[in-house]
A and B are shown apart, each in its own frame.
Chain A
Amino acid sequence: MSSNQNILVKLKQAGFRINDKWLVKGVTLQIEKGKIVTLIGPNGSGKSTTAKIALGIYKKIDGEVEKYTNKVGYVPQKISVDWTLPLRVNDFMVLTENLKAETINEALSLTGVIHLKDKNLGDLSGGEFQRVLLARAISKKPDLLVLDEPVQGVDFTGEIALYELIKKISDELNCGILLISHDLHTVMSATDHVVCLNGHVCCSGTPMDVAKNNEYKALFGEQASQILTRYQHKHDHIHTIEGEIKKN
């Protein structure tokens, strides 16, 4: 198979502005099947905007976006559900696509929240809701997953387990993932390609390439660079979703 057939989304010099204020500009990147692309950058650097450009939420953009799939799972950075909507976790799971009960159960089990299935969405904690959001996005078995800070508010052990789950999903479903995260430690081990944003692409490449880049060092500091390069050890154990340690 040629690499062209693996491309899910392609951004060419893409940018978005509101009136005359650029939120992000000149972004070129592509997401391929089975690959994880991570966007990093400080607050307000245009990470979420770039994700929304890739998803086609923003329509009046500069540059080009080519999207080759419609099977998309999205975990937005911010979502507030209104109390006027009586919505249980189970109803939320079938929001954009009808799924079989076993598919729903499987996804909720993977993210460790199957016990919340009949709970009202408004009664969940931040971390629980985040797990439900992730379950909903993966349950559709999408070609493209866009995860905007998918583990915010999740406890530390759960965070690691969920990142491992994301990596596993990318391998098993062979889907492309666009990940936005602040956590350099956990993300870098799984990421194939890193794009460092600061209103524009300041550098991109493999985690190692980015870590050595001077612009990246200037943006995040020397310490962050060490985190990336240091992340080259192997775990002798894995964490389950609940946080228990399992020996390999």
Chain B
Amino acid sequence: MLDDFFIRALLAGLGVAIVTGPLGCFVIWRRLSYFGDTLAHSALLGVTLAYTMEFNIAFSVFIISSLIALILIQLQKRTNLPGDALLGLLAHSSLAVGLVVIGFLTFIRFDIMGLLFGDILAVTVDDLLIIWVGGPLILLVLKLIWKPLFASTVNYELAEAEGLNPDRAKAIFTILMAGIIAISIKMVGLLLITGMLIIPAAMARNISDSPQKMVVYSIIGGVLSVILGLFSSLEFNTSSGPSIIAAALFLFILSLLNIKQSIKLKN
């Protein structure tokens, strides 16, 4: 069964969607979408590193993304620049450096489009293994730090005062973000990963009234987007990453209609 490229693609996509759902909720709640973008852009550097050193891609992307996150924290402490400027600086400079390095590596043929927009149809059994081991691991850790992370998202000082250690939770969450980017880069590509994090969660926000519901709906939304996107990419011969994101957007628009209806009912 795993011989079929489409089955592999589907399994990979579903594995990623289950993890991006809950993480995406936190990305929205904590206003981290540009942070996610920055980590994703830096992933290109990780990919080039993987090719030059003959490393596993997911592993080196994870290392580079974590490193960029660390640098960001240091820059925030040491400069007076606003957070979004620092994010932009890191995102674009790491993307640029990555592309420059690729220019030097003339002996390797790069599928730039695949890197930027994902090539889910080239998912190997090894990639599947990484997704289905790494993904549940990320979810498990997220569940362990849920209380302090969520409490500090609502109010940092409350969490700190009542002994929940929010700083540690935040640091661990940053590592989890690097982790999800590492395992999902092959599927949606580095320009679209943040879309996979944000759009299903945004859709879920429109139709939920509690944090738990939002997490569940964003997982469902992500899974539906993957199924819808992959089948339509097969049907219309479009690339997989953008198809999945477009499907997610479609679901988001549907969730907006739902709101309008409920407002009508109220009046």
Interface residues of A, Cβ cutoff 8 Å to B = 52, 55-57, 70, 72-74, 76, 79, 81-82, 84-88, 91-92, 95-97, 120, 140, 146
B162 in contact (CB, < 8 A): yes
A86 to B259, CA, bound (A): 15
A72 pairs with B163, CB closer than 8 A: yes
Q: With the chains together, A52 CA to B156 CA distance in Å?
A: 12
Name the 8 nearest CB pairs between A and B, nearest first.
A55-B161, A74-B161, A96-B162, A70-B163, A95-B151, A57-B160, A96-B151, A72-B162
| B residues at A contact (CB < 8 Å) | 28-29, 31, 147, 150-151, 153-155, 157-164, 205, 208-214
Q: How far is the CB of B161 from chain A (nearest CB, A)?
A: 4
**The one of A72, A73, A95, A97 that contacts B154, using a Cβ cutoff of 8 Å:** A95
A146 to B163, CA, bound (A): 13
CA distance A170 to B157 in the complex (A): 23
Chain B residues with Cβ below 8 Å from A91 are 210-212
Q: Which residues of B contact A52 (CB under 8 A)?
A: 157, 161
CA distance A86 to B150 in the complex (A): 12
Instruction: Knowing A57-B160, A73-B162, say if A120 contacts B209 (CB, 8 Å).
Output: yes
Q: Given that A81-B154, A95-B154, A96-B164 are known contacts, is A88 also in contact with B159, CB under 8 Å in the complex? A: no
Minimum CB–CB distance from A93 to chain B (whole Å) comes to 12
Whole-angstrom distance between the alpha carbons of A4 and B111 in the complex? Answer: 70
Q: How far apart sit A86 and B164, CA to CA, in the bound complex (Å)?
A: 21
Query: When A76-B155, A86-B209 are in contact, do A146 and B161 touch as well, CB less than 8 Å?
Result: yes
Q: What is the CB-to-nearest-CB distance from B263 to chain A, in angstroms, rounded to a whole number?
A: 15
- Minimal beta-carbon separation of B235 from chain A (angstroms): 35
Closest chain A residue to B155 by CB distance?
A79
Give complex CA distance A70, B164 in Å: 10
* Residues B210 and A88 in contact, CB atoms below 8 Å apart: yes
Are the CB atoms of B161 and A85 closer together than 8 Å? no
